[in-house]
A and B are shown apart, each in its own frame.
Chain A
């Protein structure tokens, strides 16, 4: 029974990781920008949700679209004014640019919101689903907030898939990723597409932040942890693939959960990082990676 609960824990954790990584994967896959700002965007989304809940009583799940909208604006502006200037440069340059911006944003948040750890305490709490009551003999519990975040992650991925496959903007994004100059010849303005993509990535981060605000302690310092998870999720799942985020996130979550059981909690990451190294050596494109973002 222990292992069933651990598997459930891992899948739920993986859902959170997928939620965190969706926007990061989009920006990396389409713009070829390793967006170090991503973790800070997640934290900013969480702070916005925290203040919306404590000051105005807006439930973080209802607030998620608003956080997404605000972060979209910020992401669009940052890409248009800063990152676009170096978008042609090698990946290390854009990474350094976003790294600098991340330091800036983290420290602005540190000054504005202080270093105190906060968390939303939903009243009433969402509680847990005791599976044992539904299926006699199966002694497994599922926290509702984590389950909800996982479902939202699925929704994000589905929406992203539809956006890229079914809309003109989405096709333009994929076209720019495949061949920027051919896309330009077809009348697509890459500058706008880049800014849109970066904005959508930031919006996904903002929504993820709002969803995570009742689960994780909120602090500017959490940004690097989120970024690290997003990075590993993308490498495992593969770049340029919407569903790769989900697969990578779930794989990472399950690996960490079982790693903690078999090797002890202090080595929970050992197993997942060993697998990461094996992937980088033998399957650098990840489980579902492909060129272009489809």
Chain B
């Protein structure tokens, strides 16, 4: 072999451009190998635009807690099992300051600058729908933790998978219960925040109510950032409803509940969605929270045995309490569930290849602490029944479905 060396050397010397080509090719090969090796062992990166400041920051921070708990549990176990190799999880957060256009920009940045492997949607139906265009354009499988309005999933996108069932799954059981347990309740007044999700939810209650023969005596929409609901509640009081339904975010619900008491607007049934699922609603309204009903996609009182990183609803709740010193609510839980379902899809696919993971997600069949998760053709979860609950003696008590209920509907809200 020795004789070859001078010949190759002479050849290279005689053809300087070829030598440059060879050097370039070697460098390229090196780079390719280096990046390939790095990709094999590097963390799986997930982009998460969140409203960490601004009006939606309470929800944004809760979602982040959910993601972080999942990440910590997975990484403590060595990472996600990708076809036999364990890879750690890294979540890239950006704060979109509760401004939807900014959420879309940051999703774009995550896709192009940060080159994340997968994404979690921003908070709420509106922002999720807006940012889903970015995931679709770059073909990034994206889990939507908090989008329940069917309108989010009607664009024929292939990369969006939502953990929340449709809004009607909240209004239907509640109207069934009212029909069965409170035969005297006939007149419904609905006050909905003029915002994609709360308004859609209000309209679902209108539909579910009419379907069962209830009379809708008032339907009002209030503007975002409304500081006073006195006029609407005065009208509601005048309409003499048996059932008052209010939708919106937690600050709206605290204020509406307080002003209902101020104006003496009472009813047999008062439903507020989704604020009563949060302990802070109960703390902020005190005795006024009593007998308020609500429905939500997840509750710590559920008992699911799962094949995910958490094992069961109970174990999830315990881990969450250990880490954050408070009970998890549905926003925390859907954050963790988004991680869990992505993890299970990657493990099932045995790869982080986006097309394979997308296929695994679409195939569904994930047993999680959040409930069984499978998605319809549009990408929205359809596989579990969200529980209905009521605040009784300062605690949330599940009253539906029967399999997990801990009490019955109590009538009368002062």
Contact = CB atoms under 8 A, between A and B. Distances in A.
A, B: real partners: yes
A257 interface: yes
Interface string A196-221: 00000000000000000001110101
B53 A141 contact: no
B61 to A, nearest CB: 6
B223 A269 contact: yes
Contacts of A141: 262-264
Contacts of B261: 125, 128
A265 B262 contact: no
A110 B53 contact: yes
Nearest to B59: A115
Q: Which of A216, A253, A264 has the most CB of B within 10 A?
A: A264
Size bin of chain A's contact surface: 35 or more
Nearest to A262: B231
Interface stretch (B178-186, B278-286, B346-354): B278-286
A84 interface: no
Contacts of B250: 117, 217
A146 B225 CA distance: 19
Q: Which of B232, B262, B287 has the most CB of A within 10 A?
A: B262
Interface string A68-102: 00000000000000000000000000000000000
A118 interface: yes
A169 interface: no
Contacts of A268: 222-223, 226, 228, 231
A146 B232 contact: no
B196 interface: no
B229 interface: yes
Interface string B140-167: 0000000000000000000000000000
A141 B237 CA distance: 12
A215 B234 CA distance: 17
Nearest to A118: B284
A146 B262 contact: yes
Contact of A121 (B55, B220, B223, B287): B287
Interface in B200-243: 220-223, 225-232, 234-235, 238
B254 interface: yes
Nearest to B289: A121
Nearest to B221: A266
A59 interface: no
Given A110-B53, A115-B58, A215-B258, A13 B284 contact: no
A149 interface: no
A9 B230 contact: yes
Interface string A233-275: 0000000000000000000010011101100111111000000
A221 B230 contact: no
Nearest to A270: B223
Interface residues of B, number: 39
Given A128-B262, A266-B194, A216 B255 contact: yes
A57 interface: no
A119 interface: yes
A117 B234 contact: no
A22 to B, nearest CB: 17
Q: Which of A10, A13, A143, A260 has the most CB of B within 10 A?
A: A260
Contacts of A260: 228, 231-232
A265 B191 contact: yes
B57 interface: yes
B220 to A, nearest CB: 5
Contact of B230 (A13, A119, A219): A13
A225 B228 CA distance: 11
Given A128-B264, A261-B231, A265-B229, A121 B285 contact: yes
29 contacts: A2-B234, A2-B235, A9-B234, A107-B53, A115-B57, A116-B280, A117-B254, A118-B280, A119-B254, A119-B284, A128-B264, A141-B262, A143-B262, A216-B227, A217-B250, A221-B54, A221-B55, A229-B227, A260-B228, A261-B234, A265-B191, A265-B220, A265-B221, A265-B222, A266-B223, A268-B226, A268-B228, A268-B231, A269-B223
Interface of B: 53-55, 57-58, 61, 191, 194, 220-223, 225-232, 234-235, 238, 250-251, 254-255, 258, 261-264, 280, 283-288
